[in-house]
Structure formats: structure tokens, C-alpha cells
Amino acid sequence: MLLREVAYCRPVDVEDALAVLREHPGARPLAGGQTLVNVLKLRAASVDALVDISGLEELRLIRRSPDGGLEIGACVTYDELEHSEEVGEAVPILAEVASHTVDQQVRNRGTIGGNCCYADPASNYPPLMTALGTTMRVATPAGEREVAAEEFVLGFSRTAVGTGELLRSVVVPPLDGSGVGYQSLLIGRDSWALARAVAVLRAEPTIVEARVVLGCVADAPLRQPAVEQRLRGRDPSPETLAEASRASCEGIEPISDVHASGGYRRRMSRVVVRRALEQAIEEAE
Ligand SMILES: Cc1cc2nc3c(=O)[nH]c(=O)nc-3n(C[C@H](O)[C@H](O)[C@H](O)COP(=O)(O)OP(=O)(O)OC[C@H]3O[C@@H](n4cnc5c(N)ncnc54)[C@H](O)[C@@H]3O)c2cc1C
């Protein structure tokens, strides 16, 4: 299906973009367009105007924070993430996930901000942002606000970015010796996932910090406090990790659809949690 005619504008900076969005409440930011254009073509949504933010320099920066973490502009593409030296040095998992996202055409255009703002339950980045303890910087007409990644996704394709606002950047804290495990069960190679788990663990040598997040099983990424509790203060043995993974999915009813039943998703989620824990411990310094 062809795209219906729609007004298109290219603001000169973030202030200008916010002004256009304020004047036209039916307008939407356009980043890489890899989701939005398809959604519009399929008539699953309509907009009055597209505000193309993809060229705004302020949204394309990648810089090391003074604490050794990273600030990444919302319009940094997957390809730029994959090849950034700063990202590779500070938080390499961000580059690795980018390198596995779909195909090169999508990686050339799709952005980290668009991925977080579209917030499909199977999107690659929202659970990773939550597990890493990321702060999302939102530009608003009244200034800027910071939202913890854990509170950023409010539901299916709903985020803390309100009408007339923009995600400006994501601020990822330093890993400080933590290991990251990122595991997905994919429908097909380079495709959407049925189950996903991200674990960030620090061990000295007992586990002192644990953040474990599930994706794909609910409208938003879910922290797994029961798993984290079973890890803190424990020796990171295979038995500890396996036992903790069995506590995931408590109180969750994953959806059933054409790809898998809810029961299968639940069982596979526990498997990917265990694998993510094993990977995180292997990578922890
Ligand atoms: C064939 C195919 C397969 C895919 N498979 C996967 C997959 O397996 N995993 C995965 O995670 N993704 C997948 N995607 C989605 C892809 O990663 C998209 O690029 C991404 O979800 C959206 O990024 P974008 O920059 O293209 O955003 P756009 O499509 O431009 O925008 C998406 C939404 O976010 C809003 N938005 C964008 N940027 C901002 C901002 N800075 N502030 C506020 N709102 C903003 C837009 O208004 C729109 O509502 C796939 C896409 C395709 C085409």
C-alpha cells in the first residue's frame, strides 16, 4: 500500500521541532521511519504531519560521560552504534545488539530513540535500557525532564514521552565491572523474538548487584525482583543461576498468538533468563 499524502517538515533544531509539534498536535516525530512509515502505509495509524528529526545534529551525538558511561542521542542509528569506538569501549552490548538487529537496510536508518519510543513488547532496546539502569532525557516545551528507563515504557507503544515532546538522548551508566547477558529466542534468524532476557551482574566474587529484566512477555519490560533477590549475596555457581532463573515470570501471563502459546513463552523465558545469567557471570570482571 502507498503512503497517503502527509505534510512533511524538517526542523532546524530541537527547539524548532518542539515548536512544530506544539502547533500541530496531530504531528509525529519521524526518526528512521522503519516502523512509522510502515504503520502509516498499513493505515494502522494516521498523522497530520511528519516532523523529520533524523538530521538534527544534537540528536546524533555519542559521547562519554565524565563517570565513564555514555550519552547517546536519540537519532543515532543502529549502524552508528555498531561501529562507534566509544560504545564499543564503554558498553559494548549496545553495539552488539545493534549489529544483530534485522538487516543492514534497517540498521542504516533505524534509531535507538525510535526503537525505545515505538516500544513494541519485542523491541530490542527497552529491556536492555532498563537492565543497564539508563536515564532517558526527554525534551519538552518547558525544558527537560529525566525518566528512568524502568518507568519509560507505559504499555504497548506508549511511553513517558508525551504529545509535543521528544526523546533527546539516553544516558547509560558505566558498567564498573558488571557483566551483561542478553539472550533472545527468535522466531527466525534476524527476526522478532518470542522471549528475551537481559541480566546485568556484578560479582566480587559473591554476587553484589543483579538487575534482571524480561522482554516480550508483557506490554512493557519487566524487572524480575524474585530472581534478583535469589542472586544477591550468593556464590555465582551454575546451581544458583539455575535456581534463580526458575523464579522468573512470577505473576506474568504471556500472550498467546500465532507464533507461540503463553505457556511456551513462559517456559522459554525461564530458559533465556538462565542463559542470560550464565553469560553475564562469564563476562563480569
Ligand atoms: C523488517 C523489519 C524488521 C524489524 N525487526 C525488529 C526486531 O527484530 N527488533 C526490533 O527491536 N525492531 C525491529 N524492527 C523495528 C526497527 O528496529 C525500527 O527501526 C525501530 O523500531 C524504530 O526506529 P526508527 O528510528 O525507524 O523510528 P520511526 O519509525 O521513525 O519511529 C517510531 C515511533 O517512535 C516515535 N519516535 C521516534 N523517535 C522519537 C524521538 N526521538 N522522540 C519521540 N518519539 C520518537 C515516532 O513518532 C514513531 O511513533 C524491524 C523493522 C523492520 C522494517
Q: Encode pLDDT of 265-278 as tens digits.
A: 999 999 999 999 99
Q: What percent of the chain has pLDDT over 90?
A: 87
Give the nearest ligand 1 atom to 29 CA: 47
Q: Is the pLDDT of residue 190 over 80?
A: no
Q: Is the pLDDT of residue 250 over 90?
A: no
Q: Is the pLDDT of residue 191 over 80?
A: no
Confirm or reject: Cβ of 171 under 6 Å from ligand 1. no
Helix (H, G, I), strand (E, B) or coil at 116: helix
Instruction: Show contacts of 190-196: CB within 8 Å, 24+ apart.
Output: 190/100, 190/101, 190/102, 190/103, 191/102, 192/122, 193/122, 193/124, 194/122, 194/259, 194/260, 194/264, 194/265, 194/268, 195/265, 195/268, 195/269, 195/271, 195/272, 196/122, 196/124, 196/127, 196/272
Confirm or reject: Cβ of 191 under 6 Å from ligand 1. yes
The sheet carrying 70-73 orders its strands as 62-64, 70-73, 166-172, 135-140, 143-148
- For 140, the enclosing helix (H) or strand (E) is strand 135-140
Quickly list H helices, the chain.
14-23, 36-41, 78-83, 85-90, 92-99, 104-109, 112-118, 125-132, 225-231, 238-245, 262-283
Local confidence band at 70 (pLDDT 50, 70, 90 cut-offs) = very high
Top mutation candidate among 9, 36, 53, 144 for ligand 1, by most atoms within 8 Å of CB:
36
Local confidence band at 1 (pLDDT 50, 70, 90 cut-offs) = confident
State whether the Cα torsion 7-75-180-225 is positive or negative: negative
pLDDT score, position 4: 83
Residue 119 CA to ligand 1 centre (angstroms)? 8
Residue 52 CA to ligand 1 centre (angstroms)? 13
Give mean pLDDT, residues 193-209. Answer: 96
Give mean pLDDT, residues 208-221. Answer: 96
pLDDT score, position 107: 96
Confirm or reject: Cβ of 73 under 6 Å from ligand 1. no
The C-alpha cell of 112 is what? 535507538
Q: Mean of the per-residue pLDDT values for the chain? A: 95
Q: Is the pLDDT of residue 2 over 90?
A: no
What's the pLDDT tens digit per position in 3-51?
A: 888 999 999 999 999 999 999 989 999 999 999 999 999 998 889 899 9
Instruction: Show contacts of 250-255: CB within 8 Å, 24+ apart.
Output: 250/224, 250/226, 252/214, 252/217, 252/218, 252/222, 254/216, 254/217, 254/218
The whole-angstrom separation of Cα 33 and Cα 110 is 7
Confirm or reject: Cβ of 34 under 6 Å from ligand 1. yes
Local confidence band at 175 (pLDDT 50, 70, 90 cut-offs) = very high
Q: What percent of the chain has pLDDT over 70?
A: 100
Residue 283 CA to ligand 1 centre (angstroms)? 29
The whole-angstrom separation of Cα 114 and Cα 119 is 8
Local confidence band at 54 (pLDDT 50, 70, 90 cut-offs) = very high
Choose among 81, 58, 61, 201: nearest CA to 139: 58
pLDDT score, position 255: 87
Confirm or reject: Cβ of 30 under 6 Å from ligand 1. yes
Give mean pLDDT, residues 175-199. Answer: 92
